[in-house]
Amino acid sequence: MADNSIQENRLSLARASLRQTLARYSHLRQGKKNSDNTELEAALQNQLDILTSTSEKLDHNVIRIATFGLVSRGKSAVLNALLGQKILQTGPLNGVTQWPRSVRWTIPYLPVAEDREKIQVELIDTPGLDEVGGEVRGEMAKQVTRQSDLILFVVAGDITRTEYQALCELQTAQKPLILVFNKIDLYPELDRKAIYQSLQALGNSEQLAADSVTDATDSENLSDRPNNPSHKSTAKSPAKTAKSLEIVMVAAEPAPVQIRVEWSDGRITNEWESPPAQIDELKHTILTILNREGRSLLALNALVEARDAEANIARQVLKLRQAEAEDLIWQFAKYKALAVGLNPVAFLDVMGATVADLALIRSLSRLYGLPMTGYEAGKLWQTIFSSAGGVLLGELGSSFLLGFGKSAAVAAPQIGFSTFAGVAVTQASLAAYGTYAVGRAAQVYLEKGCTWGPLGQDTVIQEILATIERNTIIDRLQQEFKI
């Protein structure tokens, strides 16, 4: 179990990261229109709203647990059993739950240190994934999944093809998932054990599939982010584990059973009685997760959600500023070409070209509203140079050699002005092309927002994952956080 102070430090890091992000985009939240493209403006505002709500959720220590499953699997009944009272509507008809509904779960025996804020838990009930209006329900499910910290996937027997597809999609959300086998009271003991073993085998196959996908994408994910400490991290990927799904058996709303009642006057009657819910195992599993790593889950899920939102914001801003960015890149290319072409001193060409590229990167970051220090711009330039080394190294090398040619032409007038001019034009052309290449590469990296900078989401996620305890849900999930 993680020490409470360690978990609280992780929460503090996550809060600081989100506050920095919100401050960075404060100019976009003032309601000022950036363009006539209302569709892009709406998309941008939506991502800003996600960032704001995620920060508020983090500040209030709210952990959200969402239920998913097909119709008539007993999702609402499972939540009612956890709550200890029938708050959510249930019934024999399919589709009783039409829209997501959240209910606060008060857990008096959830321990908390005196100097720490208590974790608040919200249970979210959702409609069946296979109900009418699939596209609307699908989008609704994505939104609920994004906001959730823990997922309960409810089945009521052997898993169907539709349930399997839904389960696979939910597992891509990078959230811990408990597979809840409900209505066990309807099955004889042998059948119940056989279904449980079948679900365990499903969990094993799901883990193997996830491992193969992760192995194929690890290097790609790492190479996508510049100036990211994960490039240098020595943290090892977690060992492969066969148990990727927590599987819990419950009977949330057992079917009534007929009992024989013998009265004092000698009468004998048969009456129907509803047995108590068999929910203790699920409640114990959830509380164990919350006590052991609840705050860490809250911090990581908030960071992942904010990372995706910031990347989306950066993409929208790039679209809004596309024309201005193109003009800026070409302007720098022209001025750099003139400066390099007319300058007669060789080493000043190379130095001036590098300074111009750094200035271009910082100008682009300001245009996009992504603040960047000179040091960060230098690190980004190094990353661009290393990833496109052949082009830029060729430009620098050629510029240096051509610069010596110009210097020789100036020092020896007999060589002639035409030679100087020819070398200058060639060098200027190479310089302009190099600047354009740097500008385009910088756009690609800036499109990721500042998730890779100091207190950026990727940086903080990596710091947290590097200290995660072994044999926890996060330990098993950390290879899926895509950093």
6: number of Cβ within 10 Å: 15
Longest CA–CA span in the chain (Å) reads 133
Query: How far is 25 from 64, CA to CA, in rounded Å?
Result: 26
Answer yes or no: are the C-beta atoms of 259 and 271 closer than 8 Å: yes
Which of 367-394 are b and which e, b meaning 16 or more Cβ less than 10 Å from the residue's Cβ? bbbbebeeebbbbbbebbbeebeebbee
Q: What are the φ/ψ torsions at residue 125 (nearest 5 degrees)?
A: -95, 140
Per-residue pLDDT of the chain (483 residues; tens, 9 = 90+): 556 788 889 999 999 999 988 887 776 655 555 555 576 677 778 888 899 999 999 999 999 999 999 888 999 999 999 999 888 876 555 555 557 888 999 886 665 555 456 789 999 998 887 765 556 666 788 888 888 999 999 999 998 988 888 888 888 887 889 999 999 999 999 999 999 998 888 766 655 454 444 444 444 443 444 444 444 433 334 333 334 578 999 999 998 888 888 888 888 888 888 899 999 999 999 999 998 889 999 999 999 999 888 888 877 778 778 888 888 888 888 877 777 666 655 556 667 677 887 888 888 887 877 666 666 677 776 776 665 554 444 555 555 544 545 555 444 454 444 554 555 666 667 777 777 778 877 877 776 656 666 788 888 998 898 888 887 888 877 765 554
| 349 Cβ neighbours under 8 A, 6+ residues apart | 340, 343, 399, 400, 402, 403, 427, 431
Query: How far is 406 from 424, CA to CA, in rounded Å?
Result: 7
